[in-house]
Amino acid sequence: MTVHLSLLTSHPVTNYLYASNHKANHCGPHAINRSSIRLPAISRWQEEVAKQAIKHALKALKKRHLVEEGAHAPAYIALSRPIISQGSEWKGKAEKLEVELQQCYKAQSRLSEQLVVEAAESRTLKAFLQEKETAMAELEKELTQTRLDVSLWFGLQG
């Protein structure tokens, strides 16, 4: 009796035989073809029993997961109680920090205004300084010209 190729993937014995032979003979002339493996056909009753066993195992896993989740519930409740009792303390701290934050905003605003004023003063002083430097350059130029004129006048006199 020949087993259909699609059943080979679901049959554990076939998968084991195929895997062990495939590893040993994965290449060469003696490689085993999956379609050449012949096993007795699985009866519908055996297939149904296997499906029921799988369903039962899945249900057991789900139940175990729920039990494990439930085991953590008392710890979760115990940890959440102090948090609830600390709520008013945290609220007070939050209000205090909010007041402090508002004070920081006000101080930052004052500093920002002061920076704007000082920057404007700095620009004004810079313009004033440039005017004075220009005036000094003109005076130096005028002084040089006057010295030259005086030296020429005394040169002609002598």
pLDDT tens-digit readout, 86-119 = 677 788 888 999 999 999 999 999 999 999 999 9
Domain map (residue ranges) of the chain: 1-42, 43-85, 93-150
Q: Which has the closest alpha carbon to 47: 8, 6, 2, 11?
A: 11
- Range with the poorest average pLDDT among 6-10, 65-69, 131-135, 152-156: 6-10
- Helix and strand numbers, DSSP H then E, in the chain: 4, 0
| Percentage of residues in the chain having pLDDT higher than 90 | 34
Over 80: is that where the pLDDT of 60 sits? yes
Angle at 156 between CA 151 and CA 158, to 5 degrees: 95
Mean pLDDT for the chain?
77
Return d(Cα 154, Cα 158) in angstroms, integer. Answer: 6
